[in-house]
Amino acid sequence: MKKEKKIIKLIEEKGIIRVKEVESLNISRQYLYRLVRRGILEKVNRGMYKIKNRKFPDDEMLLILTKKINNFTICLLSALQYYNMTTQNPSQIWVAVKNNYRIPKINIPIKINRFSGKSLTSGRKKVKVGNMEYFIYNSAKTVCDCFKFRNKIGLDIAIEALKAYIKDEHGDINELWKFAKIDRVERIIKPYIYSLLNE
């Protein structure tokens, strides 16, 4: 019973645990499986468990992502949603990874976007929500990414994001120009910026 209580305590602290985390406590995985059979825990993904029917204040899918994918960054529609810069409600979590990163099998709805060079590494910031820590692109970088990937998400969404950035003062125009150069979208975004600034 003591070992099972240790497992439950660990899950309550972390939200979701992996088999190897249980074994790192010198506890056999059989205790974990026993808790599943008794209906106390449930499997949420391969090798990952949580307390059954537990509702998290944080996004459960993000919890799983932080366990399964190394070095991802929340981007595009999911980043816009985080900053309240869109009316969209994406059904997938949009993440950026390095061009050659091999995505592990994962049973949650994610939209993988491959970035490289400065476009991958610039404008990232770490945020903490509850027990989770993950990277997200800042609002200026996100707007420029939307113009870079306008064929994927739609030009109307990119313009909506730019309008929210300028009108709601999420950041300054100099920041926008900096990331427009990194994403190579200065020529595309320029007329929209001038039009909105002159409204």
pTM of the model: 0.71
Given a cut of 60, is residue 132 above it in pLDDT? yes
Would you state the pLDDT for residue 95?
A: 93
Question: Do the strands 93-98 and 124-129 form a parallel or antiparallel pair, or are they unpaired?
Answer: unpaired
- Is residue 170 over pLDDT 70? no
Q: Any idea how long the chain is? A: 199
Q: Are 66 and 134 in contact (CB under 8 A)?
A: yes
pLDDT in tens, 48-63: 787 877 654 346 677 7
User: Which pLDDT score is estimated for 57?
Assistant: 37
Give the per-residue pLDDT at 18.
Answer: 80
Closest by CA to 176, choosing from 187, 165, 168, is 165
If one compares 10 and 53, the residue with the highest pLDDT of the two is 10
Rounded Cα distance, 75 and 180, in Å: 15
Q: What's the pLDDT at 1?
A: 65
Question: Which has more pLDDT, 117 or 58?
Answer: 117
Distance of CA 8 to the CA centre of its chain: 26
Higher pLDDT, 136 or 197: 136
| For the chain, domain boundaries | 2-51, 60-197
